[in-house]
Amino acid sequence: MSVYILGIESSCDDTSAAVLDGTRLLSNITAGQEVHRAYGGVVPELASRAHQQHIVPVIDTALKEAKIHKNQLHIIAYTRGPGLLGSLLVGSSFAKAFALANNCVLIDVDHMEAHVLAHFIQNSDTPKKVPQFPFLCLTVSGGHTQIVKVNHYFDMEIIGKTIDDAAGEAFDKAAKIMGLAYPGGPVIDRLAQTANPNAYQFPEPKIEGLDFSFSGLKTSFLYFIRDRLKENPDFIQNHMNDLAASIQHSIVNILTNKLKKASQTTGIKQIAIAGGVSANSSLRNRLNELAQTEQWELYIPPFEFTTDNAAMIAVTGYLKYIHEQPSSPYAIPYARQEARYDHTNDR
Ligand code: KG4
Ligand code: ZN
């Protein structure tokens, strides 16, 4: 029997809707928000207004593309948090009203859990290989950087996390220092393609255990550029590609060294990546090399499931449903990941 799920994602600056039949993808539509470009980062108030404009057409398109009528839907899954509260309120309010009006089961989804569970989306006619439990997932986005030990779908332990900036933030801040547009991660990736990653060296942080730090790297990049600009005002323009390749090299080094350490200390060789930064081509290349030398079984998601998307929300909603995970229709959004375990405001 088919189980049709509509997923809704609105945690940051992408409004996304997807329709799945169980874990099988039928449609996945995302509207980005150009309005933030001029500000060098996401402006929360502008984001929630843009979500309000986009949410109806995006859901309409997702249903049409999936050739599913709203009366056929069984489950509405939406992002409850973490994210920007104003943005989350648009998606969660819509999801609650839509589920009530169409007599659907309503399921709230944690955005970070969904990034990990994106690996279980089946998006082609031939069944895709999925990670075996337990696996390690390096979740790297604009707001989070963590190594998650995934014991089962809803039994996840964060065994390493950033103590300051996220990896995506490090990319975006480095890009901003070079005067590049937001979000800078994809721009740095593109500029670095043909450049020398060893042109400039930046010190790597010495953090105990499996935690990460990126703020020191950002500061040394900033000071390095400031000093060079004193000697040559065109320094950035003249060395843009090598600068991009070198900072990317440092960020990828920090990420992959800790992931390697996590695999060695846990003995787990099923390795996955998730989140916006997992689109980075240098990170993907390095992980493929490590898969060879460390005998990893590596799972890299297709590009459309790396950055924020509703397909990952829908698949997580479906998995929560079949594994009978609790979900309250009164659940209110939360901004920070830690808050998901606090249910005092659920009624
Ligand atoms: O997961 P995501 O779409 O949104 C959050 O939940 O944060 O991640 C967005 C982050 C941004 O910082 C963006 O610069 C980064 O992912 N990103 C990349 C690439 N594509 C997106 N960073 C490096 N290389 C890329 N190709
Ligand atoms: Zn995300």
Q: For ligand 1, what atom is nearest to the CA of residue 183?
A: 14
Query: Is 149 found in the same domain as 26?
Result: no
Q: For the chain, report the end-to-end CA distance as a whole number of angstroms.
A: 33
Does residue 346 lie in a domain region? Answer: no
What confidence score (pLDDT) does residue 223 get?
97
Does residue 75 lie in a domain region? Answer: yes
What is the residue with the minimal CA distance to atom 14 of ligand 1?
185
Closest ligand to residue 183's CA: 1
Question: Is pLDDT above 80 for 41?
Answer: no
User: How far apart are the CA of 32 and the centre of ligand 1, in A?
Assistant: 13
Contact residues for 105 (Cβ-Cβ < 8 A; gap 6+): 74, 75, 76, 99, 321
Query: Is 319 found in the same domain as 285?
Result: no
What is the residue with the minimal CA distance to atom 22 of ligand 1?
185
Element (H, E) at 24: strand 24-31
Question: Is pLDDT above 60 for 231?
Answer: yes
Which residue, among 119, 52, 57, 60, has the nearest Cα to 86 in the 3D structure?
A: 52
User: How far apart are the CA of 279 and the centre of ligand 1, in A?
Assistant: 7
Long-range contacts of 25-28 (CB under 8 A, 24+ apart): 25/121, 25/122, 25/123, 25/311, 26/65, 26/66, 26/67, 26/68, 27/61, 27/62, 27/63, 27/65, 27/66, 28/62, 28/304, 28/309, 28/310, 28/311
pTM of the model: 0.93
Question: Is pLDDT above 70 for 346?
Answer: no
User: How far apart are the CA of 185 and the centre of ligand 1, in A?
Assistant: 6
Q: Range of 337's domain?
A: 4-123+305-341
What is the residue with the minimal CA distance to atom 23 of ligand 1?
185
User: How far apart are the CA of 101 and the centre of ligand 1, in A?
Assistant: 35
Query: Is 149 found in the same domain as 51?
Result: no
Does residue 256 lie in a domain region? Answer: yes
Q: What is the average pLDDT across 218-247?
A: 97
Q: What is the average pLDDT across 66-93?
A: 96
Ligand 1 site, CB within 6 A? 12, 141-143, 168, 171-172, 183-186, 189, 275-277, 279-280, 307-308
What confidence score (pLDDT) does residue 127 get?
87
Contact residues for 89 (Cβ-Cβ < 8 A; gap 6+): 48, 333
Does residue 46 lie in a domain region? Answer: yes
What confidence score (pLDDT) does residue 347 get?
41
Query: Is 309 found in the same domain as 296?
Result: no
What is the residue with the minimal CA distance to atom 8 of ligand 1?
276
Query: Is 222 found in the same domain as 96?
Result: no
Structure confidence by residue, pLDDT tens digits, 157-179: 999 999 999 999 999 999 999 99
User: How far apart are the CA of 169 and the centre of ligand 1, in A?
Assistant: 8
Query: Is 140 found in the same domain as 62?
Result: no
User: How far apart are the CA of 200 and the centre of ligand 2, in A?
Assistant: 30
Query: Is 291 found in the same domain as 228?
Result: yes
Query: Is 51 found in the same domain as 156?
Result: no
Domain count, the chain: 2
Q: What is the average pLDDT across 331-346?
A: 71
Query: Is 293 found in the same domain as 160?
Result: yes
Does residue 29 lie in a domain region? Answer: yes
CATH of the domain at 180: 3.30.420.40
Closest ligand to residue 278's CA: 1
> What does each C-alpha distance from 332 to 80, 201, 323, 340 come to in angstroms?
7, 46, 22, 10
Question: Is pLDDT above 80 for 206?
Answer: yes
Question: Is pLDDT above 70 for 273?
Answer: yes
Closest ligand to residue 252's CA: 1
Pocket test for ligand 1, best of 30, 79, 171, 336 (most atoms within 8 A of CB): 171
Query: Is 154 found in the same domain as 53?
Result: no
Q: What is the average pLDDT score of the chain?
A: 94
What confidence score (pLDDT) does residue 44 get?
83
Question: Is pLDDT above 90 for 1?
Answer: no
CA distance 341 to 113: 13
Structure confidence by residue, pLDDT tens digits, 187-201: 999 999 999 999 999
Q: For ligand 1, what atom is nearest to the CA of residue 306?
A: 1
Query: Is 312 found in the same domain as 213?
Result: no
- Least confident range from 50-64, 139-153, 330-344: namely 330-344
User: How far apart are the CA of 308 and the centre of ligand 2, in A?
Assistant: 5
Does residue 263 lie in a domain region? Answer: yes
Does residue 146 lie in a domain region? Answer: yes
Query: Is 293 found in the same domain as 148?
Result: yes
Does residue 129 lie in a domain region? Answer: no
Q: What is the average pLDDT across 242-247?
A: 98
